[in-house]
Amino acid sequence: MYPSYMEQSIRKVESTRERRLNETLPRLTETEKGPLLQAHHPDYISQGMRDLSVGPNKGDRAPHEMADLLEGNSRVDPERIDLTRVEYDVDVLVIGGGGAGASAALLAQESGARVLLVTKLRLGDANTVGAQAGTQAADRPEDSPALHYIDTMGGGHFANTPELVEALVKDAPSVVKWLEMLGVNWDKNPDGTMHELSGGGASRRRLHSARDYTGLEEMRVLRDEMRNRNIDYVEFAAAIELIMDDLGQVAGAVLADMETNELMLVRARAVVLATGGMGRLHIQGFPTTNHYGATADGLVLAYRVGAEMLFIDTMQYHPTGAAYPVQILGQLVTEKVRTLGAQLANTDGEQFIMPLEPRDVVAAAIIRECQERDKGVRVPTGQVGVWLDSPMIDMIRGDGTVARELPAMVRQFGRYDIDITREPMLVYPTLHYQNGGIRVDVQGATQTPGLFAAGECIGGVHGRNRLIGNSTLDIFVFGRRAGRAAATWAQEAKQGQLSLEHVKRWQKEMEEAGLSEKRPSSPLLLPDYARPAPEYMPEHSKETLAARRIRLA
């Protein structure tokens, strides 16, 4: 049930539906996409960015919100840390408990390493569980890894690192098989063939789904498998700095208990960063689909040990975040709604973009429709959006399709008395994914010895724009590779004396650049959504409270 002021626009969407069923808008050419993106995609708003003043990417552009943290002050005073008091001494330390971290831990253990995984929230609290649509793998006879390669490069505006894309598309089918052998329930046809759907920017149907709970299904299984294999993990333990050694290698991490502030030191022969994305930085004020802990922590840690970042000036704004009701503002409405046949329509019920263009193009088109053309639907909070016409799906594919393919979406909107089988959804772009990240080679090794990385925190796989279904692929492809490579490294590496000299050097560099007073402490660990310090407090008390919050973060 929508409020009455939206009904008029919904009637228009209904009145054009029959006609639109047979209306296919053409795909944009590359020369048409450029100006659309430049005029309307948030990545091209230069006021939202600045050049970094310190560190390996000095001079490169990054959004202010991310730059503040990359240029942040350490939470650790090296003078006050006794590096002889090591709590855990392992071969491979994995930081992050999502799909990439769990994959890395499983493969590192299989490769013979003693593994510890640490995560600042619970095991599995990660963007992986929110991924709905599916995982790409070119496994149908009509498809090929070469086509998957071309689609991925095109989606990323040809900026992707070719070797990483090659690894992605070649490993994809075996990743799908690996997950199945661990017990993931893929959607299948009765004859056993995979039930595969198309996606924005994909030239073949190659999305493997588990209804619209794909990432949740994958994560539930990997988490259970980690427990079955007795892999050690520590929850609510945030990595706040990496430890290096006098041989210039990464050699562990400083952890802080999120609830008690207890300090824990881990010594490790190799470290895998699998810390995910940055949606909770709310770049340019956008709402986000991301989980509570998506604050780019791994980028900060890697930056301080000299690892270079790629494409950190490009974010993915998912075209369809919920714009109504306000309780779910910015939450993900899966692209699967469009892959099943739903079109986008403006307030007059007219299409304005081919719904299966790559995500950055669709997002820019929605922003143009609402801002420049004023053809969006406005709700009282000021939020504006366009219609995603979900009732078309059952008309195209038969009654019951929405209920079968999109149970999570039906459930989520049903909680607010909106029946998406009969009524469209109001949507607007929402901050979804960090396209770039830490530079790695095909085995997940960063430029800093002993440090590996996988998942959303790495850059290069997706160039400047990721395609649907390539993230729940990349976490497993590169999680597995990084886990194996870290285990191999750990067998051969010589260990030196633990050291936090790099933190001292970092703080010196910050001071020389005149930044240490201006910048916050980082990593951020969690966003601060609690009510701000009350009016009655004197300023010095507010500062104490703020400092305490940062410490507690």
Partner 1 sequence: MTGPAKTDTQVPLVDIYVMGKRYRVPEGLTILTALEHCGYRMIRGCGCRAGFCGACATVYNFKNDAQLRYALACQKTVEPDMYLVQIPFFPAARASYDLEKVEPTGEQVLALYPDLVKCFGCNNCTKTCPQELETMWYISDALRGDIREVAAKSFGCVMCGLCAARCPQGLAQYNIALLCRRLYGRYLAPRSKHLDDRIAEIETGKFDEDLNNLKKLDGPDLRRLYAEREIEPAY
**CB–CB of 208/403 below 8 Å?**
no
Q: List the one residue out of 126, 159, 178 whose CA is nearest residue 461.
A: 159
Q: List the one residue out of 85, 24, 468, 36 whose CA is nearest residue 264.
A: 85
Assign 497 to helix, strand or coil: coil
Strand duo 88-95 + 115-118: pairing: parallel
The residue among 223 and 269 lying less far from partner 1, judged by its C-beta, is: 223
What's the closest the beta carbon of residue 225 comes to partner 1, in angstroms?
7
What's the closest the beta carbon of residue 166 comes to partner 1, in angstroms?
5
Strand duo 458-459 + 437-439: pairing: parallel
What is the Cα–Cα distance from 87 to 239, expressed in whole angstroms? 14
Annotate 76-98 with DSSP letters as a single string: --GGG--TT--SEEEEEEEE--S
Q: How many residues does the chain have?
A: 553
Work out whether the CA dihedral 409, 414, 417, 421 comes out positive or negative: positive
Helix segments in 372-500, DSSP class H: 392-397, 401-405, 407-414, 471-492
What's the closest the beta carbon of residue 216 comes to partner 1, in angstroms?
5
The residue among 497 and 544 lying less far from partner 1, judged by its C-beta, is: 544
Strand duo 135-136 + 88-95: pairing: unpaired
Reply yes or no on whether 338 is catalytic: yes
The residue among 153 and 362 lying less far from partner 1, judged by its C-beta, is: 153
What is the Cα–Cα distance from 20 to 477, expressed in whole angstroms? 39
**CB–CB of 523/96 below 8 Å?**
no
What's the closest the beta carbon of residue 181 comes to partner 1, in angstroms?
6
Of 211, 318, 464, 519, catalytic: 318
**CB–CB of 338/409 below 8 Å?**
no
The token pair that represents 443 in the structure block:
């085995």
The residue assigned the tokens 């919100």 is 65
Residues contacting residue 197 through CB under 8 Å, at least 6 positions apart: 133, 134, 205, 207, 209, 336, 339, 340
The residue among 89 and 166 lying less far from partner 1, judged by its C-beta, is: 166
**CB–CB of 329/385 below 8 Å?**
no
What's the closest the beta carbon of residue 132 comes to partner 1, in angstroms?
8
The residue among 26 and 514 lying less far from partner 1, judged by its C-beta, is: 26
What is the Cα–Cα distance from 64 to 71, expressed in whole angstroms? 10
What's the closest the beta carbon of residue 372 comes to partner 1, in angstroms?
19
Q: List the one residue out of 316, 322, 324, 237 whose CA is nearest residue 279.
A: 316
The residue among 465 and 507 lying less far from partner 1, judged by its C-beta, is: 465
What's the closest the beta carbon of residue 282 comes to partner 1, in angstroms?
5
Reply yes or no on whether 318 is catalytic: yes
**CB–CB of 196/172 below 8 Å?**
no
The residue among 339 and 390 lying less far from partner 1, judged by its C-beta, is: 339
The residue among 103 and 249 lying less far from partner 1, judged by its C-beta, is: 103
Kindly state the DSSP code that residue 326 receives in the 8-state scheme.
G
Of 211, 338, 466, 502, catalytic: 338
The residues pairing with 272 across neighbouring beta strands, listed in sequence order, are: 94, 452
What's the closest the beta carbon of residue 550 comes to partner 1, in angstroms?
11
What's the closest the beta carbon of residue 42 comes to partner 1, in angstroms?
12
The residue among 122 and 518 lying less far from partner 1, judged by its C-beta, is: 122
Q: Which residues are catalytic?
A: 318, 338
